Amino acid sequence: MKNGKFDEGEATLRLKMTLEEGKVDPVAYRIKYVPHHRTGNKWCIYPTYDYTHCLCDSIENITHSLCTKEFQSR
């Protein structure tokens, strides 16, 4: 993915988790060929919001996070 061998939407990195009825493994990283404001075109893989949201909360010592219902089914 990092070497640019895949097009956008062609490959993702998923977390391997226990499957519940009707749920799939969440996507952690995806390919996006967009220049970053700090690193330019050095990277083409970016973390998804679903993956980074809980990590940012942990780093910032947030103990409770209220989210809207659009993330309820994930």
Which tens digits make up the pLDDT trace of 34-48?
A: 999 999 999 999 999
- Answer whether residue 18 shows pLDDT above 80: no
Indicate the pLDDT class of residue 24, thresholds 50, 70 and 90: confident
Indicate the pLDDT class of residue 72, thresholds 50, 70 and 90: low
Whether the CB-CB separation of 40 and 29 falls below 8 Å is answered with no
Alpha carbons 33 and 5: distance in angstroms, whole number:
12
47 closest CA partner among 59, 31, 34, 60? 31
DSSP reduced 3-state for 58:
helix
Question: For all residues of the chain together, what is the average pLDDT?
Answer: 86
Average pLDDT (9-23) is 84
Q: Look at the block and give the residue holding tokens 């993702």.
A: 12
DSSP reduced 3-state for 23:
coil
Q: Give pTM, 2 decimals.
A: 0.71
